[in-house]
Amino acid sequence: MRKIFIFFTFLFITLSFASYSISVKAASNENPGLKTTVVADSYNSIRSSLLKNERTGQFDSAEVSYTQVDAAIQKVVRENPEILYFDSAMSWSNGDIEFSYSLPDSTIKKNKAALSKEVDKVLAQIIKPGFTNFDKVKAIHDYLVLNVAYDYKNFQNNTIPSDSITAHGALIKGVAVCDGYTKAAQLLLDRLGIENYYVDGYGNGGQHSWNLVNLNGQYYFMDITWDDPVPNVKGAISYKYFLASADQLRKDHKWNEADWPIAKSKTYSFLNDFSSMIEFKGHYYYSSISDKDTLYRVKKDGKSKQKVNNVRAPYFVIIDDLIYFSNYSKGGFLYKMKTNGSKPQQLNSIHSVNLVAVNNQLHYTDSKTKKVLKLTIK
């Protein structure tokens, strides 16, 4: 008797069929990770069909049981972020597969072409000659945090559109949930030839996804979604989950660790203390997560850490060897001081947030009125 199998990529529901079918949980977190083996012929056949957005496909029933097709499809989708809007699949024991998508073929084709061009455009903009792989990974992390907003309203209303779980949503529309951030990073890293993987599991108990990257033979986790503030704050970047070790990530993430290489290196763990950061003259200036946003600086290799000034500064910019900052040790008022921490000077008596340097002006927001104010830098 013919056997049927249903797989859903997004909706976490369990479907029951007649006696010839089986029940599955969609996008189960018992997923095929890095160490899962799928026979190459079936993997390549499924991948080819999904990349072309074909409605039918094949797997080799002599080498893969129909009960393994779920794992093969999940693996293909996770490893190929160019696949857009795949929704479900129905497979039979004779090797036939029927694929369904959430958008029409014409829309998928148009969006895939636009996404490919956008990837080229973004990489040309952010990747500079002489960049190391670390520089490239950081550039991708920073670009996505600065240019993508978490689709929080739709997340709250349980109305997340299919675009928000794709790289297209992140890179073209600038709006995504975790899958969109993860797949956008995956696509950009793939294009640069940097080894990386899509990982999913739980974050604070909820379904979540993030990236695993290989730098200099060591693996690190990168959760770009959680490094982007919600609601969106223009110009704000956190590094709490950038190139994190497994020890760091285990504090609030859970995943099937047996599926993946061990991310044990703590080479970049000093970065995980950055709630905001600016690179300036060979140093990272940052607000310390562990010290209540007190302002520090450290050399780019993680050495010579020192406190800039004993002030809490969650918002700051550096302009012409001066740090402009919201002094949370003094009511959040706007201050400036030299980059060595000397000569602090109060500039207003307004609780100022979201500082952004624009040409010769400093833009900041009055936290009470929400009005954006401007200060000309002389």
Reported as a single tens digit per residue, the pLDDT across 156-214 is 999 999 999 999 999 999 999 999 999 999 999 999 999 999 999 999 888 999 999 99
Mean per-residue pLDDT for 224-239? 87
- Which architecture does CATH list for 268-378? 6 Propeller (2.120)
CB 324 within 8 A of CB 310: no
For residues 198 and 217, give the distance between their C-alpha atoms in angstroms, rounded to a whole number: 18
CATH number listed for the domain at residues 114-267: 3.10.620.30
Residue 28 phi, psi dihedral angles, 5° rounding:
-55, 145
pLDDT for 259 beyond 60? yes
Contacting residues for 325 by C-beta, under 8 A, at least 6 apart: 295, 311, 313, 315, 316, 317, 334, 335, 336, 337, 355
- Domain residue limits, the chain: 4-101, 114-267, 268-378
Burial of 214 (0-12, 13-18, 19+ CB in 10 A): middle
pLDDT at 20 over 80: no
Banded model confidence at residue 235, pLDDT cuts 50, 70, 90: confident
Give the pairing of strands 253-254 and 306-312: unpaired
> Is the pLDDT confidence value at 365 over 50?
yes
CB 91 within 8 A of CB 99: no
* Tens-place pLDDT, residues 51-63: 999 999 999 888 8
Q: For the chain, give the percent of residues with pLDDT over 70.
A: 90
Q: Give the CA distances from residue 335 to residues 51, 190, 215, 348, in Å, rounded to whole numbers and listed in that order.
A: 53, 43, 39, 7
Q: What is the CA radius of gyration of the chain?
A: 23
Query: Strand 196-203 to strand 206-215: parallel, antiparallel, or no bridges (unpaired)?
Result: antiparallel
pTM value surpassing 0.85: yes
- What is residue 41's predicted lDDT score, i.e. its pLDDT? 86
Asked if the model's pLDDT at residue 376 lies above 60, the reply is yes
pLDDT exceeds 70 at position 363? yes
Same fold across 114-267 and 268-378 = no
pLDDT of residue 301: 94
Question: β-strands 96-101, 333-338: how paired?
Answer: unpaired
pLDDT of 21 > 50? The answer is no
Q: What percent of the chain has pLDDT over 90?
A: 79
The angle subtended at Cα 207 by Cα 204 and Cα 209, nearest 5°, is 95
Amino acid sitting at position 38? V
The pLDDT assigned to 142 comes to 97
Asked if residue 2 lies in contact with residue 12, where contact means CB atoms within 8 angstroms, the answer is no
Give pLDDT tens digits for 61-109.
Answer: 888 877 788 888 999 999 999 999 999 999 988 999 999 999 999 999 9
